[in-house]
Amino acid sequence: MLQLNQIHKIFNEGTPDEKIAIDHVNLTLKPGDFVTVIGSNGAGKSTLMNIISGVLIPDVGEVNIGGKNVTNMSEFKRSKMIGRVFQDPMAGTAPSMTIEENLAMAYSRNKMRTLRQGVTKKRRDYFREVLESLHLGLENRLSAKVGLLSGGERQALSLLMATFTEPSILLLDEHTAALDPSRAELITNLTREIVDKYKLTTLMVTHNMQQAIDLGNRLIMMDKGQIILEVNKEEKKQLTIESLLMEFKRIRGVQMASDRAVLS
Amino acid sequence: MFTAIFGSFEAGIIYAIMALGVYLSFRILDFPDLTVDGSFVTGAAISAVMIANGTNPFLATIMALFAGFAAGCLTGLLHTFGKINNLLSGILMMIALYSINLRIMGRSNIPLLNIDTAFTKISGIFEKTGIDSFFNSFFTMVGLGDSLPETWGILIFMIIVTFVIKFLTDLFLKTEIGLAVRATGDNKRMIRSLSANTNLLVVLGLGLSNALVAFSGALIAQQGGFADVGMGIGMIVIGLASVIIGEALFGTKTIARTTLAVIGGSIIYRIVVTLALRVDFLDPGDMKLITALIVILALTAPKTIEGIKERKRKALKRSERLNIAQTSGPVKGDNHVTIKSDS
């Protein structure tokens, strides 16, 4: 479904700040794969996400989605096939617009936008139905402005907006990191439910090792722009935080650098 | 007095179309678009030249709409594809339009006296229907007989036109494309991740905004009887004044409410300016200063009033709490003593 071939990306090339963000990365996701990505700050996780979603264009390499080469396709065209949830709960929704209007915009993601009304009666019924699956009571607040929702509610809505049109790829960029533990757990559970329901091919970046172990069928660890560890389905079942940290130390010969990653 | 108010009402409802255009760029797209100063004149210039050359005035007004659309699109292109800062791209377009407007007109002023404009046609039609005499006899009855307007036609016609534009704007902002335009002003990153071409949406939004501005300019030229190359100076500020006053007075709960508020704001702005200019020591040259003062007032007053209210509310709460503490204090103390003696 998703194929990355020899992706290489350098920031500030030719200046003293030159930094290799992604170092010849290869990654293939089969349909239905749910891959969690961990790694310390600056490992290149977010850059990888940005390259897949088209915010950044790789210096070298190829991005294939569904067998189609999309390396140079602009972000907005590509996002017909890619659902995305950002870390910041403010980023995934339009605050001054209502819940149903936000859903209507997500609804027309993979269609041509026309001069038809965005929210029709038929669509409203459908929105109510999909909102019920969040169990947050949002289905009764369709015409409330999204700016009035809490961070957790907004993130749940973003998750729904990213997924209910069943995109080919779902990208989750630390989407629970800005929430308190109970809300984060709620979103984690919703993520599991929704990905299961639509059988989405998913790539999830996280700082939370336990979350990375609990969710998905594959796990990759990144460091300094490289994928240094790949854990497949069978091995992943036996994985613990300790064994992951040990593994990192064994490969890199140093302690994992991120306090956040260790503590969570 | 009545004539002055009537005149400002009439002008206000025409300028309201321009204010709706400014609302589209300033509020919906979050793009402070200074093109308005130029595109307003472009609309006036095109319609004036065409009317003076004998074109049907309604057709000429519609052509102004298209010219404004083109000007707005160019500003949008400068900003999105040229990657020029939004204020600067508006200013560049405004300056460029000044020369273009002079080219269109051929000289700095085109009078439209004794020529059939859209408004002379409309008032001609109205005279035949007898609505004018009906209104005028009504106002004579209530004792305003000495200062009656020549025709009610322009006012009634413009109320209809402005409200049709308002409803079309409301409707457009609820379509799939309209929603995407609004999201572009609200959260660009999000709508891009939902597969919308934000560059195109900015261009479209600015095009529509300036189309309305130029349309308004064409009508103002026909109402005033001339097009002048300097008539657009400070137009953006007048538009902003209308938007801000309207929003502060009538609220912004829904889109329909806000567009109505903008129209109201435009009329109120005109009335305030007219009344201010009746003060003896002010002359028409002071109008821009008055406009600036009105905008400053409209921007600061709501916050100041809110601050005073908040302080009063807090003071009240504090005194309430103090009272409760004083009355319940001794009781608590008594309980404390009894518990102690029990043990």
Question: What's the rounded mean pLDDT across residues B174-202?
Answer: 94
Buried b (16+ CB within 10 A) or exposed e, A201-225: bbbbbbbbbebbbebbbbbbbbbbb
State whether B190 and A97 contact (CB < 8 Å): no
pTM of this structure: 0.87
With residue A23 as reference, give the H or E element that holds it: strand A19-29
State whether B187 and A95 contact (CB < 8 Å): yes
Model pLDDT, residue A240:
83
3 state SS of B83: coil
Q: Give yes or no for residue B66 having a pLDDT over 70.
A: yes
Q: Which stretch, A49-53, B137-141, B330-334, has highest mean pLDDT?
A: A49-53
Model pLDDT, residue B210:
97
Q: How far is CA B316 from the centre of its chain?
A: 39
CA–CA distances in Å: residue A193 to residues A36, A110, A164, A216: 16, 22, 12, 11
Q: Give yes or no for residue A257 having a pLDDT over 70.
A: no
Model pLDDT, residue B183:
95
Token readout for A26 is 């290869």
Digit-coded pLDDT (tens) for B226-267: 999 999 998 999 999 999 999 988 988 899 999 999 999 999
In terms of C-beta density within 10 A (0-12 exposed, 13-18 middle, 19 or more buried), how is residue A151 classed?
Answer: middle
Model pLDDT, residue A237:
79
Model pLDDT, residue B339:
46
Helix residue spans in chain A (DSSP H): 45-53, 75-78, 99-107, 121-132, 151-163, 181-198, 209-214, 233-237, 241-252, 259-263
* Contact assessment for residue B113 and residue B53, using Cβ atoms and an 8 Å cutoff: no
**CB-based contact, A142 to chain B, within 8 Å:** no
**CB-based contact, A115 to chain B, within 8 Å:** yes
Question: What's the rounded mean pLDDT across residues B131-140?
Answer: 74
From CA A100, how far away is CA A127, in angstroms rounded? 7
Question: What's the rounded mean pLDDT across residues B125-147?
Answer: 72
Pairing of strands A34-39, A60-65: unpaired
Model pLDDT, residue B263:
96
State whether A77 and B190 contact (CB < 8 Å): no
User: How many CB atoms lie under 10 A from the CB of residue A8?
Assistant: 16
- Rounded to whole angstroms, the maximal C-alpha distance in chain B is 106
Q: Give yes or no for residue B79 having a pLDDT over 90.
A: yes
B interface residues, A as partner, C-beta within 8 Å:
172, 174-180, 182-183, 186-187, 189-198
Model pLDDT, residue A264:
45
Token readout for B275 is 């009344």
Q: Give yes or no for residue B343 having a pLDDT over 50.
A: no
ipTM of the complex: 0.88
* Contact assessment for residue A163 and residue A170, using Cβ atoms and an 8 Å cutoff: yes
Interface test with A, best of B172, B179, B200 (most A CBs within 10 A): B179
Q: Which stretch, A214-218, A247-251, B301-305, B326-330, has highest mean pLDDT?
A: A214-218
What's the gap in Å between the CA of A13 and the closest CA on chain B?
22
User: Confidence class of residue B220 from pLDDT cuts 50, 70 and 90?
Assistant: very high
DSSP B57-69: HHHHHHHHHHHHH
Model pLDDT, residue B185:
94
Question: What are the chain A neighbours of B189 within 8 Å (beta carbons)?
Answer: 86, 91
Digit-coded pLDDT (tens) for B290-313: 888 888 888 888 788 888 988 998
Percent of chain B exceeding pLDDT 70 equals 93
What's the gap in Å between the CA of B203 and the closest CA on chain A?
16
CA atoms within 13 A on the CB side of A178: 19
Q: Which residues contact A172 (CB under 8 A, 6 or more apart)?
A: A84, A85, A191, A202, A203, A204, A205, A206
Question: What are the chain A neighbours of B196 within 8 Å (beta carbons)?
Answer: 76, 105, 113
Which has the higher per-residue pLDDT, A262 or A77?
A77
Q: Give yes or no for residue A262 having a pLDDT over 90.
A: no
Question: What are the chain A neighbours of B172 within 8 Å (beta carbons)?
Answer: 115
Question: What's the rounded mean pLDDT across residues B86-107?
Answer: 95
Strand pairing partners for A69? A64
